[in-house]
Structures are given as C-alpha cells and as structure tokens.
Structure 1
Amino acid sequence: MISNQLPHIVVIGGGFAGLWATRALAASPVRITLVDRCNHHLFQPLLYQVATAGLSSPDIAAPLRHILRKQSNVEVRLAEVGDIDATAKRISLDDGSHLDFDYLLLASGATHAYFGHDEWARHAPGLKTLDDALQLRRHLLLAFERAEAEPDPVKRAAWLNFAIVGGGPTGVELAGTLAEIARHTLVNEFRNINPSDARVRLIEAGPRVLASFPEDLSEKARRQLEKLGVEVSTGAAVTDIDDSGYRLGDEFIAARTVVWAAGVAASPLAKSLGVPLDRAGRVLVQADLSVPGYPRIFVAGDLASVQQDGKPVPGVAPAAKQMGRHVANAIRARLDNRSAPTFRYKDYGNLATIGRMAAIVHFGKLKLSGLLAWWFWLAAHVFFLIGFRNRLVVLLNWAWAYWSYQRGARIILGSDADNQQRSTRQE
C-alpha cells in the first residue's frame, strides 16, 4: 500500500508525456495515480503500420500495469476523466468517483480536427488510437473485396480509389504503404480485379508535403512517393466529403475510401481548466509547463502550446517525452521549495518514411533520403519501442515483409454494425 500521507500526483494520460513523467518520479517520495481510458501505452509513430496490416496491435502497445509493475509508488486507474476542478484540485471520473490531487499533469493528447466540418468524420476516419487503426484496416482491406465482387466498372473504380487528406508524416506514410500493398502485396490474389489498378492519392492543401522538413527533402519525398505510384496533389484543399467521394476544389472524385490525416485538435479536457487556450484548443502554459494561475497543475504533450525561440515546439513523441521528464523535475522542485526550471526542447532531428526503401531524415545539417534514410528510420523506431518483445517482433515482421512483400496482419475483423456504432459515438 502507498501511504496516504505522501503528496498525491495525478497524471491524466498514459502516452509519451504521462508515462515518461510517471517513470521519472519512481524514486520520489510521492504517490501517483495514472489515469487513462485505455489500459495500454501506444507507440503512435507506428500506428499506421497496424492500419495497413504490417503489424498487429500488441506489437506497438504494452499494458500500462505491466510497464509500471515494478514502480511501487504508482496506481493505474482505467477510467475516463469527465471534468477538472482546478480550484478545488479535484478531477471527476466517468464512473461517478473523483480524485483529489496535490499536483496534476494533464497529458491527454489530441484528437482529429476537421476544421469546422465534423460531419466528415463518418466518411473520412482519422488515425489516433488502436481502435482507429483496426477500423481503418478493415475498411482498406474490404475495399479490395468489394471491388472484386462489383460487376459495374464505374462502381468498382470507386472502390479502388483511395484518398489520404493531409501531407504530414502520417498521410505520407499511409499513402506510400497503401501503394505498396496494391502493387506488391496483393498481386495474384484476386481474379476479377488487378489491385495495382488502385489509385492512391495524397492531398495536401499547402504548397508541399512534409512541410516541417527543408524544401529540398520535401521535394525528394514527393518524387519517392510518385515513384511508388502515389498521385500527389498540392495547393488545393478538399471542400466536401461524403460516402460517395470527395470534392477537390470544383472537381468531384468518386472514392469509397477517404482517410483524414490533415489536422489535430486538443483534448476537450483543456477547456475545463478555465484558462487561455490557443486556436487549436491547447493550453498556453508557462515557461515551466505549469498552467497560469495554478502552479501545481502542468500540461504536457500535444495538449501544451509551447513557444521556443519564436517557434512552436512540435507535437512529436520526442517533445512529449522531454516535457514529461521536465514536469517530473518541476514537481520535485516544488516539493523542495525550489524554483522550477524553464522547459527547453532539444531537437534531435526529424524523420519520415515514405515506403519500401524510401525515407527522409533531417538532423541539423545532416540530410538523408532514400535507402540510407530508410535504414536510419527503421533503427530509430525499433530502438524507441518499449519492451524487448515488441522490438523483436517488429524487427522480425519487417524482415519478413521486406523479403516477401507480405503483410501478416491482413485479417478482417468486426462488422458493419460495429462501424456504424463507432460513427454514431463520434458524432
């Protein structure tokens, strides 16, 4: 049992920021309650590989209780937070109970942003959770099955038309992998269609894909995508999406699969703090990541709006990990009656994979693209996975996929009724 006399720290969210803060407090004289609506920590950078059948769910996730089993000052609570009373220092849970805290870390992440068109969500799913990935995998694989059974060539073409909206890392990775599936993985498996006839289109409203990278690397990424068979459309925004297709500018394109990778919005929990938010709904935190007016409440990860040297700190996993560790240091400083340090983000580089033997890497003055960048990307992601088992399984799966072009998780699960219920809950 953890002594109730110790300062109580509540951490909301078991992602990179929440988990890294919790582990950094392992030797501190505190009691921690980690609250998450899922029982697992998710390695989100590889989520698209679950959606495209390259990996299974357990390959990129691990139970929070297992990760923290040796940390005796932590209690894991499976629940969803309904409200935060910053003044009373109390959070309300969905089961009707509540938790009082001495210190709070809010790291509940972000969700999909449809820029005022939430009705598009049911026709263009996003990719943030394992549930999202499994539903998207089902939809992608079923599209080929529906095309195989469709005698009408026009309707068949719509089933084989795939659009990914958003030219960031997730959109690029999805588009490249989907093109590889159509042109390599599914070869000779169908009798009435040629999967390589599938049209994979990546749509970016801005002038170029992967805008966070230098322009020359962005252009190389575009060429690598096109070499894989992806149509890259830039400079025009999607203006409408329904169950029959999407509108790009004034042109309507019939497509039964549209995937949303264009933007994120902060968790709605931020609003319950009653403090200033930025346009994306993120909390405008102080230099030590604390909330203005509440020095014992911290925000980290995708939910924190942080400026450094005139630029926003990116919403990437390394930044979230650094924020988590910083919050742990700041709490220790508060406990010792010391001033909390200022958060400084250390940029260790940026990398994105485009497809088989194609990636780009930017680290300071180092710029890589193609095969060497792809090997660098593989090594980095295996290294940062949690747990030896996950690293081994992912490495074996990737080795098998490299030599065979096969994707071992191509099992269609769920039903149309499940999808309908999920869409209703999102609305």
Structure 2
Amino acid sequence: MTIESPAGQSSAGQSSAGQRHRVVVVGGGFGGLNAVRELADADVDVTLVDRTNHHLFQPLLYQVAAGILSPGLIAPALRGIVKNQANARVLLADVKELDLEAKVVHATGPDDRPLDLPYDTLIVAAGATHSYFGKDEFAEFAPGMKTIEDARFTRDAILSKFEMAEEAADPAERAEWLTFVVIGAGPTGVELVGQIAELAHSVLPRDYRSINTRDARIVLLEGAPSVLPPFDKKLQAYTHRQLEKMGVEVHTNSLATSMDHESITFKSPEGEQTIRARTRIWAAGVAASPLAKQLAAKAGLETDRAGRIPVNPDCTVAGHPEVFAIGDMVSLNKLPGVAQPAMQEGKYVGKVIKKRLAGEKDTAPFKYFDKGSMATIGYRSAVADAFKFKVTGVIAYAMWAFIHVLYLVGWGNRLLTLYQWLRNLVFTKNRNHRIITYSRAKKDINTGRIYKTGRLSAILPAVSRPDDLNRPLAVPTRPASETRSGA
C-alpha cells in the first residue's frame, strides 16, 4: 500500500512528481517532533511515522516508575500535538526499511499491512534503546527503562516486591524481596534510586503491618570512579553524599559480571561480590536504534561502538543530501545523547529544509548551544550545571522543576504535573499512582503482544508464605517526629 501526499499548487515546494515537497519524519521523539513543528509554516506535506502513538518525555519517565506522575502527562498523543498543523499528518507504523535509492520508507501498520511512504526529504530521528555492553542476556534479569511500558513494568516490579516481602515467612527471603539494585549511576540511575529510597523510607512505612519498609536495601552500581560521570566533580561529590544520607549503598568502579532472577554479581576494587536481590534495574547505557545501522549500511558508512551513524555538519547523511539523521542515533561533534541536542537538531533541520525550498543553497553547519545538565537526587535535592553556574540543593531542584515543566508538551500537562508534584511530594508526601498491573501484563505475555516472553518472571518467582496469614500483625514503629498528616 503506497501512501501519497495530496498535490499542492506552489511551484516552490513541488517535488519531481508535480506534488508538494514530501517530508517523511521517522520518530516522534524530541528531534522528530521539533522538526515537524518547525515545518508548520512551510509549503510541504509532512508525514510523521512512529511505532507508538505518543511523544515520550523521557526525562520524567522515572517518575512514572515511582508512582509520582501518571503516564499521560509525559506521553501526549502525537495526533493531538499536531492536530492544528494543517500540513502534517501522523501514521502509527513500524519502519522496516529505508530505501535511499527509490526514496521510499517501507513500514508496516498495526495489522502488519505494508505501507510505502515516498519522500523528497527524509528525516530519521529513531532515538536509542538499551545497551548491555555485549551482555544481552542481562536483559532478562535487569530490564531497562526507555518506554512507558518499561516504566509501568518497573513500577509493578518495585511495588510488588514490598507485597511479596509482606507475605514471606523466611527472614532471609524477605530481605531478598526488599533489596533493590540499580546498575548505572547516570542521571536516570541516580534519580531512580533516590525515588526507591523515598518510597521505602518515607512513603510506605505506614502501609505495611508485617514488615518495616525502612529495612529495604538499596544499591547503586557504577563502573566509573564516581556517580554522574559527565558532571562536575563538586556535583558528583554532593550527589554521592546525599545518596548515602538517604540510605543508598553506592559502589563505584563496580561492574556487573553476572546475574539471575535472585542475585547479581559484580566486580569492585574490593573483589567480586554477590548480592541476593529480587529487583535489578538497568540504567547503565544506551545504543542507537537499529535503524541507524541500517541507514549507515545503505549509505556505505560505519557506525561507532554505540551504533550511531556519522553525519555531516548540516546533519545530512554522506552522499544523500536529501536525508537527515538527528538525535540519539547520530554521532556529531561528540554531542551527548540527551534531549537538548535532539531538540535543537530538529529545529535546525526544519530551517534548512525551508531555506532549500526558498532557493538558498548554502546553510551554516549545526551549532549546539549547551544549556547545561541537571539531575534530581530526592525531594528538594538536585544538582545543576547550567550557564557556568554549579548549583546544588533546593535551588537546583527548583531550576530542574522549572526547566522540565517548561519543556512538557501542552499547558494542561504542565499544570497537572505541577499539581501532582505539589500533592505527592509536598503536601501528602505520598505516591497516588501505585497501581500494580502485572496480572494483566502476565496474560499478555502468553500472547506476546506487550512484553517479551519471560520478562515478568522477575517480578513474582516462588515465595514461601506464612502458614497463618491471620497471625497478629507486627506494626513497624515510627518515630513521633516523622508522623505526617494527610498522607
């Protein structure tokens, strides 16, 4: 099935077939969406194709996993975002092949029917996926977090372990349920362990009767010499101290060597150690989308170790000036694989296309404006390196909140996010999105429609239950100074 764009009247934007210039954008992430928006006033027909129907604001994904935010606030529908952009349309499809010679994108729809999308200009912004550094078998035991499904799975995994600890009869087994290991101390890993610590130490203690959730052991493993490797040393030291104050065990210079559903083994300066833990979460690395490798092969290029394709200074693919590649899947000027480069590249490419249509041949190369790096550690605790200022604590937390709300799509989502932050983090100090949905997800595993087979087996392996679940409850004591109202 070939999908053509409707014919237009303007000669400036016409393709060789007499139609308006056709732009196909692969990927509705930061790069792709910003390119589409930049083309809103251009005399072109834009087709945005993505395997999901939403734009994901990944920097707040961990807050969905922690039960702070609902998924819809950080994943608005793509169709809703571009509904007022008359020259753009959205297709839900999975791109299978990029035919650079015929200038056609081959994809399949939700029912697997083939879709052929001809283009005059192609923008590939397919993003990145997890990287296990050659140990792909770890994916079964330590899932990563790149999608809404990943975040919901992680939320299920974390919350269900407290439920299983409540029912476990053996103290050693209970300790395993209450041990959480996060591999990777970049921003995602630091933010995630901080939220697990707040759940265990501040949010959940009054919810359980047979366990004291403060007994949870929370471990952070990092292969580099410090947490937050790209950040300034002052911010790294502050983060390390804050995590330890929150009860997190931080192991740097530590590499995971093996794991299964009940344990993880890592090598550190102190030697090889094994931790019995029923929860392991991967936050250690990323790799470019497989489309990057395919695009590189089509263009006769080589990808780097992370699978990223090299691009020209104007974000075009060598030998194919009509093909742009942007975002996490490209290697350009050693830019980090974060949201800001992708957003700026998307806007830049949109402007380049408009200049070409206006007859301008020479365009300045892409220039990245570094707006800094930020990461939260816990409530009112964050680090920020922005505009030559290195800030920690409450001020950094306020800066982080302002920037992240600003970049959310839609004023409704921004206001509701602020409301849920105030409700969950300030006033009630609770987490109101604590639904465990693994029962439904487990049913879906059997059909293979949502999760890969065996993936949820990490949530609920066998548990030894007490003989009498009606025994007298041992209510964990709570210091009077920590008592809150309204939680």
Report if aligned partners of 1:106, 1:298 keep a CA contact under 8 Å in 2: yes
Report if aligned partners of 2:194, 2:246 keep a CA contact under 8 Å in 1: yes
Q: Which residue of 1 aligns with 2:97?
A: 83
The answer to whether residue 194 in structure 2 is matched with residue 165 in structure 1 is: no
Q: Which residue of 1 aligns with 2:211?
A: 193
Report if aligned partners of 2:258, 2:264 keep a CA contact under 8 Å in 1: yes
The AA in structure 2 aligned to 1:373 is: A
Report if aligned partners of 2:24, 2:121 keep a CA contact under 8 Å in 1: yes
Following the alignment from structure 2 to structure 1, what is the Cα–Cα distance between the partners of residues 418 and 307? 37
Following the alignment from structure 1 to structure 2, what is the Cα–Cα distance between the partners of residues 327 and 57? 29
Q: TM-score with structure 2 length normalisation?
A: 0.85
SS of corresponding position for 1:42: coil
The AA in structure 2 aligned to 1:306 is: L
Following the alignment from structure 2 to structure 1, what is the Cα–Cα distance between the partners of residues 388 and 78? 38
The AA in structure 2 aligned to 1:142 is: S
Per-residue displacement from partner, 1:32-66 (whole Å, max 9, x unpaired)?
Answer: 10000111111111000001111111111111111
Q: Which residue of 2 aligns with 1:116?
A: 134
Q: Which residue of 2 aligns with 1:286?
A: 312
Q: What are the residue-to-residue correspondences of 1:247-396 with 2, within 5 Å?
A: 247-249=265-267, 250-273=272-295, 274=297, 275-307=301-333, 312-335=334-357, 336-396=359-419
Report if aligned partners of 2:25, 2:47 keep a CA contact under 8 Å in 1: yes
- Mark the CA change 1:386 to 1:425 in structure 2 (over 3 Å): closer, same or farther: farther
Q: What are the residue-to-residue correspondences of 1:203-282 with 2, within 5 Å?
A: 203-249=221-267, 250-273=272-295, 274=297, 275-282=301-308
Following the alignment from structure 2 to structure 1, what is the Cα–Cα distance between the partners of residues 62 and 6? 39
The answer to whether residue 130 in structure 2 is matched with residue 101 in structure 1 is: no
1:418 to partner: Cα distance:
3.8
Following the alignment from structure 1 to structure 2, what is the Cα–Cα distance between the partners of residues 425 and 302? 29
- Mark the CA change 1:419 to 1:153 in structure 2 (over 3 Å): closer, same or farther: farther
The AA in structure 2 aligned to 1:106 is: V
1:317 to partner: Cα distance:
1.1
The answer to whether residue 36 in structure 2 is matched with residue 22 in structure 1 is: yes
Per-residue displacement from partner, 1:305-358 (whole Å, max 9, x unpaired)?
Answer: 111xxxx11111111110000111222233224123200100011111001110
Q: TM-score with structure 1 length normalisation?
A: 0.96
The AA in structure 1 aligned to 2:260 is: D
Report if aligned partners of 1:84, 1:91 keep a CA contact under 8 Å in 2: yes
1:125 to partner: Cα distance:
0.7
The AA in structure 2 aligned to 1:411 is: I
Q: Which residue of 1 aligns with 2:458?
A: none
Following the alignment from structure 1 to structure 2, what is the Cα–Cα distance between the partners of residues 410 and 80? 31
SS of corresponding position for 1:367: strand
The AA in structure 2 aligned to 1:162 is: F
Report if aligned partners of 1:182, 1:198 keep a CA contact under 8 Å in 2: yes
- Mark the CA change 1:184 to 1:282 in structure 2 (over 3 Å): closer, same or farther: same
The answer to whether residue 452 in structure 2 is matched with residue 423 in structure 1 is: yes
CA RMSD in angstroms comes to 1.5
Following the alignment from structure 1 to structure 2, what is the Cα–Cα distance between the partners of residues 10 and 36? 11
The answer to whether residue 167 in structure 2 is matched with residue 149 in structure 1 is: yes
The answer to whether residue 26 in structure 2 is matched with residue 38 in structure 1 is: no
The answer to whether residue 107 in structure 2 is matched with residue 67 in structure 1 is: no
Q: 1:179 aligns with which of 193, 197, 208?
A: 197
Following the alignment from structure 2 to structure 1, what is the Cα–Cα distance between the partners of residues 53 and 394? 37
Report if aligned partners of 2:27, 2:126 keep a CA contact under 8 Å in 1: yes
Following the alignment from structure 2 to structure 1, what is the Cα–Cα distance between the partners of residues 32 and 370? 20
The answer to whether residue 150 in structure 2 is matched with residue 132 in structure 1 is: yes
Gaps of 5+ in 1: none
Q: Which residue of 1 aligns with 2:431?
A: 407
The AA in structure 2 aligned to 1:414 is: Y
Gaps of 5+ in 2: 9-18, 456-487
- Mark the CA change 1:194 to 1:235 in structure 2 (over 3 Å): closer, same or farther: same
Report if aligned partners of 2:127, 2:327 keep a CA contact under 8 Å in 1: yes
Report if aligned partners of 2:292, 2:330 keep a CA contact under 8 Å in 1: no
**How many correspondences in the alignment?**
423
Report if aligned partners of 1:162, 1:256 keep a CA contact under 8 Å in 2: yes
Per-residue displacement from partner, 1:88-136 (whole Å, max 9, x unpaired)?
Answer: 2111112312111111000010000011111111110101010111111
Identity %: 45
Following the alignment from structure 1 to structure 2, what is the Cα–Cα distance between the partners of residues 17 and 112? 19
Following the alignment from structure 1 to structure 2, what is the Cα–Cα distance between the partners of residues 289 and 125? 32
SS of corresponding position for 1:41: coil
The AA in structure 1 aligned to 2:78 is: L
Runs of 4+, deviation exceeding 6 Å: none
1:378 to partner: Cα distance:
1.2
Following the alignment from structure 2 to structure 1, what is the Cα–Cα distance between the partners of residues 273 and 127? 35
Following the alignment from structure 2 to structure 1, what is the Cα–Cα distance between the partners of residues 340 and 199? 29
Following the alignment from structure 2 to structure 1, what is the Cα–Cα distance between the partners of residues 236 and 308? 28
Q: Larger Rg: 1 or 2?
A: 2
